[in-house]
Amino acid sequence: MIKTINILFSNQVSLYCYNSNNILKTVNNTNLIISKALLKDISIFGLKNNIHLNLLLSDNYLSEEHKSIFKNNSYSVTYKLAHNKLAHNIDDTSSILVYDLSDEFDFLLSKRPIKYSNMVIRITKNRLNSILDIFSKVIEIADRVNFIHVDLPEYTSSEFDVYKKQLEQISDYLSHKIFALNYMELNFLTDRLLLFNHNNCNAGIDHITVGPNGKCYICPAFYYDNPENNFGDIYDWEIPNTHLYEFENCPLCKMCDCYQCKRCIYLNLTLTGDVNIPSKQQCVLSHIERNASMKLLENEFINKNDFYPIYELDYLDPLDLIKGTKSISLDDRAKHVANILSAPLKNYNKMDIIEAIYKIEPMMLTKIKEILCNGNVRDSNGIR
């Protein structure tokens, strides 16, 4: 169910997520700003359907007129700031700030006197080996830091090795300095410790995006990639095969415990051709981060018992379990996946779990008993 609509105020709002700067060319030739009439219609739509609005702006800060349009709505603001612009004029520290990592970034950070709640830093592959350096400065001004890898489709084992080492260094840095003092949220390191289920982007399921042309898109990347590739407008839209955007229809993600992974639909579609299948790069990145979180649990400053356990894996790509060098039988795979996915339930007793199963789906208990109690398993001819 759609709970949020992202509104791209203009086509000059540059990219703020997992999409490289190359795809801006098709839309940035002319200046297109969303009309006020459309904003009003979206506002009313949001009010009628209890939908939160996320306003995507660049340097044109939210005007008083805009604030008045949305005064009755639940809304938030995300600013994508150009590298040579300062963030001083943004009074609302609950806004999300998005930066492309650049050489001037250091300069900017030193100017900011107060802390933001949420910052997104877009990293290119040539800046991978300065993540620790950037991180050590960013944590002074933000409670939550997100690193987004815009060149992820181009990553090879070299980039992943660099990133892995940077994460190790960040873990060391944290254990000596911050963790003992402050609580921080890091999408690439601490999110995984607190999650017990997937916390994906959910574009197309929880949220959609309205472009400055008034058309609807799965997310802004689809607008930037090709404005013709929309699924209607705010008055009449339909996402074909909407079920394929849902987590339960992602055959690989369902067997993975990288709960912090964003399962970027845009990356899926551009790299593999299907919205529900992640690329190797996305899987490897998520597993490197997951493993770094796992290592962090071993840190002496952390009380392991405050967090859900994360088990060791011998692969970085879960597809290897099915079709790769580490492929295992169906039954062994089921055992392994059940083990890692049930890690957060380790400390619950059997009856609590059974009771929860019954409350969610009473017939599931019947099916479980059929398999375990009667030895009734279908053979390959479908015969009991």
Instruction: State the residues that interact with another protein by CB under 8 A.
Output: 240-241, 244, 249, 251-252, 269, 271-281, 319, 322-323, 330, 334, 377-383
Least distance from another protein to the Cβ atom of residue 330, Å:
7
The per-residue b/e assignment along 183-207, b for 16 or more CB within 10 angstroms, e otherwise, is: eeebbbbbbbbebeebbbbbbbbeb
Query: 């415990």: which residue's tokens?
Result: 257
205 residue type, one letter: I
Q: For the purposes of burial, counting CB atoms within 10 Å of the CB of 240, is it exposed (0-12), middle (13-18) or buried (19 or more)?
A: exposed
Rg (CA), the chain: 23
Least spacing, CB of residue 127 vs another protein, in Å: 24
| Amino acid sitting at position 88 | H
Closer residue to another protein (CB): 273 or 362:
273
Q: What is the DSSP letter of 175?
A: H
Q: Which is nearer to another protein, 330 or 360 (CB)?
A: 330
Pinpoint the alpha helices (H) of the chain.
Answer: 36-48, 64-69, 105-111, 131-138, 157-176, 191-194, 220-225, 265-272, 280-296, 319-323, 330-341, 350-360, 362-372
* Residue closer to another protein, measured from CB, 144 or 336: 336
CA-CA distance, 315 to 263, in Å (whole number)?
A: 18
Report the residue number, 190 or 282, with the smaller CB distance to another protein.
282
Integer Cα distance of 209 and 211 in angstroms: 6
- Toward another protein, which CB reaches closer, 202 or 293? 202
Q: Judge contact between 247 and 263, C-beta under 8 A.
A: yes
- Indicate the residue among 191 and 317 with the shorter CB distance to another protein: 317
Q: Supply 254's token pair.
A: 């369902």
The size of the chain, in residues, is: 384
- Least gap, CB of 380 to another protein (angstroms): 6
Nearest approach in angstroms of CB 328 to another protein is: 15
Query: How many helices and strands, by DSSP H and E, does the chain display?
Result: 13, 11
Shortest approach of another protein to residue 200 CB, angstroms?
Answer: 17
Distance CA 307, CA 305 (A): 5
Instruction: In angstroms, give the least distance from the CB of 1 to another protein.
Output: 19
Whether the Cβ atoms of residue 224 and residue 23 lie closer than 8 Å to each other: yes
Do strands 232-233 and 236-237 pair parallel, antiparallel, or not at all (unpaired)? antiparallel
| Smallest distance, another protein to C-beta of residue 274, A | 4
Nearer to another protein, 82 or 357 (CB): 357
Spatial contact of 260 and 294, defined as CB atoms under 8 Å apart: no
Query: Cβ closer to another protein: 118 or 279?
Result: 279
Smallest distance from another protein to CB 272, Å: 5
Among residues 309 and 324, whose Cβ is nearest to another protein? Answer: 324
Minimum distance, C-beta of residue 279 to another protein, in the bound complex (Å): 5
- Given a contact cutoff of 8 angstroms between Cβ atoms, the answer to whether 251 and 272 are in contact is no
